[in-house]
Amino acid sequence: MELEILCRARGRKRDETTRKAILRTAYELIAANGYRALTFEGVAARSGAGKTTIYRWWPTKAALATDALLAEMTPVAAFERTGSAIEDIRLEMHQMAESMSGTNGKVMACILGGAREDPETAAVYKEKIVGPRRAIGYECLRLGIRSGELRPEIDIDVALDALFLPIFVRLMFGPGTIDASWVDRLTDTVLNGIVAKSVPATANEPLAVPSREPQAAH
């Protein structure tokens, strides 16, 4: 019995090591050669895993590619709630932008390019990447409406599009980088259109979104 348990533990460890190697290899191949060039044969040859093993865990290239990206990204619910919907939205925006920086952004752009041409890739990307982040956004905005921080009549879907789609547009087409300053300007611009006229304060600080007036030239 003890030998059987030990063998199972070793088997799980080997499986996890193989799984990580496959995902890392797929990630590196997308970053180097693009989404179109990703093949199960290429991943198998470079990772040392059998092609049948890869197919057993990921039946499609879209599933493998999105899982490879997710393995490198910060989990969608990694930040702690602040008690303010406005600050939670801001933190989610920064986390999303950070997860799209560097090689992650390059790989995501490659997969997005594939999603424009392949409905299956688009569906998997929406389910595994867009869906969970949008759910967090829904939760933040609904909390803001209930707390009185946001106007009750806002269209949540439109507000989320206004917040998050510019990040994807800049990632794919530019111009400029997705840095913290740009994310703050984007967030403030959108939130200034949906916050309530009188935003309640927490015990810590007012929740009103400050307007960013251009400074006079000297």
Answer yes or no: is 116 within a domain: yes
Q: Which residues constitute the domain of residue 49?
A: 2-61
Domain count, the chain: 2
Please tell me whether residues 93 and 27 are part of one structural domain: no
113 and 186 belong to one structural domain? yes
User: Is residue 215 included in any domain, yes or no?
Assistant: no
Task: Report residue 195: phi and psi, to 5°.
Answer: -70, 155
Has residue 103 been placed in a domain? yes
Q: Does the structure show a pLDDT above 60 at 144?
A: yes
Q: Tell me, what's the pLDDT at 212? A: 42
> In this structure, are residues 85 and 199 in contact, taking their beta carbons and an 8 Å threshold?
no
User: What is the distance between the alpha carbons of residues 11 and 99, in angstroms, rounded to a whole number?
Assistant: 32
Give the whole-angstrom CA distance, residue 69 versus residue 170: 19
**CATH code: domain of residue 183:** 1.10.357.10
Residue 62 tokens, joined: 């879209």
Residue 16 pLDDT > 60: yes
CB-CB contact of 173 with 116 (8 Å): no
Does 34 fall in a domain? yes
Q: Do 204 and 161 contact (CB within 8 A), yes or no?
A: no
- Residue 131 makes CB contacts below 8 A (sequence gap 6+) with none
Specify the higher pLDDT residue, 42 or 96.
Answer: 42
CA-CA distances (angstroms) from residue 42 to 17, 50, 120? 18, 11, 21
* Same domain, yes or no: 42 and 93: no
Mean predicted lDDT score pLDDT of the chain: 83
User: Do residues 27 and 118 both lie within one domain?
Assistant: no
Q: Is the pLDDT of residue 205 over 70?
A: no
Q: Residue 107 falls within a domain, yes or no? A: yes
In a domain, 67, yes or no: no
The predicted-structure confidence for 71-114, as pLDDT tens digits, reads as follows 998 766 566 678 888 899 998 888 888 887 789 989 999 999 99
